[in-house]
């Protein structure tokens, strides 16, 4: 049971990494990061069956940080979209203000 | 002979993996987001079967209910729904990413085969929330309090970043 859950978690994490590496749309890359966070959460919950309830507490923390990250990240996406007129990662080449 | 419980467990697992594969191959951001929500519901089912009903509930409430709604909202706000060209990178990048992904997957699966020390599990409580709550408000109280500061900073940061700046 725990071994299967950990294997599912590994597959989900790998799928998330594949998405981050192959997509260019900022929002989809973001959602792949969320998928990776979910995979790690599944590992935490599975191992909590062996090591006690601390794993569940970690999952609560991860979810809070994920919510904060989504809020700030999507605000950055909106800001970038206003600036460049696109949400493609390949359009973001400069750190300076004008381009 | 697999039991009904095991059948359900594998069902949710296969559902999660299939939805994740569909999610990562969809072209439109909205359909990708909906498949990701499906992954999260399947994971919630797995959490219930792994004796974590509280985590399953907040998975549905926070992830599927709040975070993904924000994603869909931003997709629709920016009108990214129907881009004429795919945003996937070229074939060479995809093959390279496939190799990297398979190497990572093999790594993870090998690491998971290592010995797992079994510590005494938490005693069965009468309800699902009590052990988590006791742990959260005693051992991890400082982390819990710091989390509120993280959320406050995130809210302020989101407002500052998304605010329309006056052009000079």
Predicted local confidence at residue A89, as pLDDT: 78
Tokens of B105: 């997957």
Which pLDDT tens digit goes with each residue over B61-105? 998 889 999 998 888 888 776 666 677 778 888 888 888 999 888
Predicted local confidence at residue B12, as pLDDT: 93
Cα B48 to Cα B18, B42, B51, B58, B72: the distances in Å are 19, 10, 5, 11, 26
Q: Say whether residue B100 is in contact with chain A using an 8 A CB cutoff.
A: yes
Given a contact cutoff of 8 angstroms between Cβ atoms, the answer to whether A22 and B89 are in contact is yes
Predicted local confidence at residue B109, as pLDDT: 86
Q: Say whether residue B158 is in contact with chain A using an 8 A CB cutoff.
A: yes
Each residue's pLDDT, cut to its tens digit, for chain B (168 residues) gives 778 888 899 999 999 999 999 999 888 888 899 999 999 999 999 999 988 889 999 999 998 889 999 998 888 888 776 666 677 778 888 888 888 999 888 888 888 887 776 665 555 656 778 888 888 899 899 999 999 999 999 999 999 988 876 655
Reference A80, options A30, A23, A19, A17; nearest CA is: A30
Predicted local confidence at residue A91, as pLDDT: 75
CB atoms within 10 A of CB B118: 9
User: DSSP letters along A37-58, please?
Assistant: HHHHHHHHHHHHHHH-THHHHH
Q: Say whether residue B102 is in contact with chain A using an 8 A CB cutoff.
A: yes
Pairwise CB contact (< 8 Å): A54 & B112: no
Residue among B24, B50, B140 whose CB faces A45 most closely:
B50
Question: What is the end-to-end Cα distance of chain B in Å, rounded?
Answer: 72
- Residue with the two structure tokens 């989900």: A12
In chain A, residues with a C-beta closer than 8 Å to the C-beta of B147 are 61, 64-65
- ipTM entry: 0.89
- Residue with the two structure tokens 């994920």: A66
Predicted local confidence at residue B40, as pLDDT: 94
User: Which residue stretches of chain A have pLDDT < 50?
Assistant: 99
């Amino acid at each position: 049971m725990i071994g299967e859950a950990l294997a599912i978690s590994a597959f989900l994490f790998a799928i998330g990494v594949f998405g981050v590496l192959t997509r260019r749309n900022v929002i989809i890359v973001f959602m792949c990061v969320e998928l990776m966070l979910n995979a790690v959460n599944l590992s935490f919950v599975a191992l909590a069956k062996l090591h006690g309830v601390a794993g569940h507490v970690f999952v609560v923390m991860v979810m809070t940080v994920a919510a904060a990250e989504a809020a700030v990240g999507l605000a950055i996406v909106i800001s970038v979209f206003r600036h460049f007129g696109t949400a493609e990662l390949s359009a973001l080449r400069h750190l300076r203000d004008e381009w | 002979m697999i039991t009904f419980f095991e059948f359900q467990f594998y069902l949710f697992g296969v559902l999660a993996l299939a939805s994740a594969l569909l999610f990562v191959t969809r072209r439109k951001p909205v359909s990708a987001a909906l498949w990701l929500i499906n992954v999260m519901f399947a994971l919630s089912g797995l959490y219930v079967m792994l004796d974590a009903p509280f985590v399953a509930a907040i998975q549905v409430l926070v992830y599927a209910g709040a975070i993904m709604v924000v994603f869909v909202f931003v997709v629709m706000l920016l009108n990214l729904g129907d881009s004429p060209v795919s945003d996937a990178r070229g074939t060479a990048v995809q093959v390279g990413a496939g190799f990297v992904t398979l190497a990572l997957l093999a790594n993870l699966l090998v690491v998971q085969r290592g010995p797992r020390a079994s510590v005494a599990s938490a005693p069965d409580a009468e309800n699902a929330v009590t052990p988590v709550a006791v742990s959260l408000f005693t051992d991890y109280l400082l982390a819990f309090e710091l989390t509120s500061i993280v959320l406050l900073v995130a809210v302020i940061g989101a407002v500052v970043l998304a605010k329309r700046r006056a052009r000079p």
